[in-house]
Structures are given as C-alpha cells and as structure tokens.
Amino acid sequence: MYKISLITGDGIGPELSESAISVLNTINDKTDVKFEITKLLAGDIALKEKGKALPDETLAAIKNSDVCLKAPVGESAADVIVVLRRMLDLYANIRPAKSYPHMPALRDDIDMVIVRENTEDLYTGKEFSLGNASVALRIISENASKRIAKYAFEIAKQRDGMRKVTCVHKSNVMRITDGMFAKACADVAKDYPDITFEQMYVDACAMNLIRQPHQFDVVVTTNLFGDILSDESSQVVGGLGMAPAANIGDKFALFEPVHGAAFDIAGQNIANPSSFLLSIKMMFDWLAAKHNDSKCTEIGQKLESIIFGLVKDGIKTKDIGGDKTTAEFTAEITNRF
C-alpha cells in the first residue's frame, strides 16, 4: 500500500483536491493498486491558522509518505514548494506540454517536455542590499548541471518522439554560469550517442516555442529559464489548465499542477481539474518506475486516456468554455474508469 500525502492548498486548491481524492478512491476501489491519502495543510491557510506556511507536522507527514501531491497554494507558495524542493532535493522539475483535442493549441502535434534544474540559479533566494543597489547571487554548479542533463537524456531515451535534447542557456552573455551549464550538458551528451543534442539561446528558444513548437522534444535548462519557458510551452498547447508538473529527486517526488490558486473562481465549482489529475498520472508513472509496478503504469495510462477522451468529446469545465462543474467533470472520469 502506498502512502500519499496531499497538500490541499488555497483558492481552488481544496476543490481540486476533492476531485483528486474522488479519482484516487475510484482507482483504489476498481484496481489492485491500494493507497491511503493523508490530507495536509500548507500555504496561506496554514500561515493563518498555524503561523507557518509549511507547518512542522505537514513536513513530517510528507517525509513519512511514499509520494506527495500538492494542490496550488496562494501568496506563500515560495515558502512551501521552493522549501520542499530544496529540503527533499527534488532537483528535477518535469513539465510536459502536449496538444489535446478542442484546446486552443497552436498546433495539434506538439509533444514536448521541459526538464528544469530545480535547486540552484537565482531561485536560491540569496539576495542582499548594497547601498542603493540590490544584488542577487546566481549559483550554477557542474554537479547539478550534469545531474539534470543526465535526467533529460534518460527521459529522451524513453520517449517515442524525436529522441532529441535541446540545451537552453544564455552563455553568450553569462559566460561563466551558463557557460558551465552548457558545457556540462554537452559533456553528458557524449554518453548518449543515439540522442540528438543541440544548444539554443533562451531568447531563440522562446521565439521558436511560438514559431515551431513541434520541433522540440526534450528541453533541459536552468531554474529561472525553465520556469518561464515551461509556462510559455503550456500556453502554446492551450493554457495552464492542462499542464501537470513533477518535482523529482533520487528518493522522493512531489506532483502538482502548474497553475496557481485562481482565487477569482475559488468556491464556484467551475475549475478544470485536469492539470492536477494529469499530475497524478505522472505520479503513477513515477511509482511504477521506482517500485517496478506495472499496474501503476497501466493506471496512469488509463487516466490520461480518459481525460483525452473527455476533451475529445468536447466535455470541459465552465472555466475553459465548457458546461461542466468541477464535480461533474470528475464524475465523468470516475464513471469511465
């Protein structure tokens, strides 16, 4: 039995969490894969009620689980997800971007993955004031760069697409930091002769994500660039509502939707839960690989296939132009499982 810790989040987070629990309970009832879910507080609600965005008891429960799901949280997001990434060494941020039917994608043949280094760069938060200037330290190490590059190449090996890795950086300007990242990726590429390797400056990548997104397979890049490019790639395939994400380390993983807490529609029961549910698909893929559990692979594939079928049939929630509530959309999924 797998132990799943679930941060229920803020804004639309609790609604999405209920959708996730409903789907997971259905899987629990209808398949041989069993798990227990522990609901946890973190984010704005936790800050208000506990005085801390990531309470000690929440952290302890996460560490005691096999895997973590996190619904979107509010303004205190950095005090939750950034801390968890560093504390649990979740060094690989994986964000697929894939075309789905009846979504406003630029093309119907987009299928890429952004592999983002998750522990370094400007996101370490090492900032200080120096007189009338503000300074931020950008840290890029060879070890972390090679580690994320290897992860990207391993993903490319497993995919059915172009088997190509694009290293994105800005070494023509940041010659030392991005120069190290680019060299580390190129060095790792030598160990994967069957994978096509190319390098691209980040501004050119941002342009080509619009101009020819179908030409990308696996993109590996630094923390800040990856954060920006992954949101862009999500919009290219129709928006953040279909964008899942994984934060993966050698021993643990956390899965979450890319989008935020959407306070403007919170409590209305109209939010699209697909991003969170596709994150659960990624969770099952990770559990399958970690525990050599082919049943988890089958469940993940079936969940994605059901969601694909729903949007293909034009069944969508009200926030993305459909007529279903969050609960109704979730029921469509559980009824098809």
Report phi then psi at 164, rounded to 5: -135, 140
Average pLDDT of the segment spanning 256-270: 94
pLDDT for 243 equals: 92
pLDDT for 233 equals: 96
Q: In terms of residues, how long is the chain?
A: 337
- Is residue 321 over pLDDT 90? no
Fold of 106-236: Isopropylmalate Dehydrogenase (3.40.718)
Per the listing, tokens 């929630």 go with 317
Give percent of the chain above pLDDT 70: 100
Catalytic residues, by residue number, are: 123, 170, 203, 227, 231
- Is residue 240 over pLDDT 90? no
pLDDT in tens, 29-46: 999 999 999 999 999 999
| Residue spans per domain, the chain | 1-93+240-337, 106-236
Please give the structure tokens belonging to residue 323: 């007529």
Residues in CB range of 206: below 8 A, 6 or more apart = 228, 229, 232
Residues in CB range of 217: below 8 A, 6 or more apart = 111, 112, 113, 156, 159, 161, 162, 163, 164, 165, 166
pLDDT for 319 equals: 87
Confidence of residue 124 (pLDDT cuts 50, 70, 90): confident
Angle at 62 between CA 57 and CA 66, to 5 degrees: 150
Cα 89 from Cα 252, distance rounded (Å)? 8
User: What residues are paired with 248 via a beta bridge?
Assistant: 92, 253
Q: What is the pTM of this model?
A: 0.94
**To the nearest whole number, what is the mean pLDDT of the chain?**
95
Average pLDDT of the segment spanning 238-243: 88
- Is residue 161 over pLDDT 90? no
Residue by residue, DSSP assigns 124-182 as G--EEEETTEEEE--B--HHHHHHHHHHHHHHHHH-SS--EEEEEE-TTTSTTHHHHHH
How many C-beta atoms surround the C-beta of residue 32 within 10 A? 10
Q: By three-state DSSP, how is residue 56 classified?
A: helix
Average pLDDT of the segment spanning 133-149: 97
Q: What 8-state DSSP symbol labels residue 317?
A: B
CATH topology agreement for domains 1-93+240-337 and 106-236: yes
Q: By three-state DSSP, how is residue 1 classified?
A: coil
pLDDT in tens, 186-196: 999 999 999 99
pLDDT for 115 equals: 98
Q: By three-state DSSP, how is residue 249 classified?
A: coil
Please give the structure tokens belonging to residue 199: 């390098």
Average pLDDT of the segment spanning 205-220: 98
Cα 251 from Cα 119, distance rounded (Å)? 15
pLDDT in tens, 1-25: 999 999 999 999 999 999 999 999 9
Give percent of the chain above pLDDT 90: 93
Strand duo 244-248 + 253-257: pairing: antiparallel
Cα 281 from Cα 302, distance rounded (Å)? 9
Sign of the C-alpha dihedral computed for residues 314, 295, 337 and 73 taken in this order: negative
Fold of 1-93+240-337: Isopropylmalate Dehydrogenase (3.40.718)
pLDDT for 91 equals: 97
Average pLDDT of the segment spanning 257-273: 94
Sign of the C-alpha dihedral computed for residues 19, 235, 259 and 320 taken in this order: negative
- Is residue 102 over pLDDT 90? no
* Residue 219 one-letter amino acid: V
End-to-end CA distance of the chain: 20
SS3 content of the chain, % helix, strand, coil (to 5): 45, 20, 30
pLDDT for 203 equals: 98
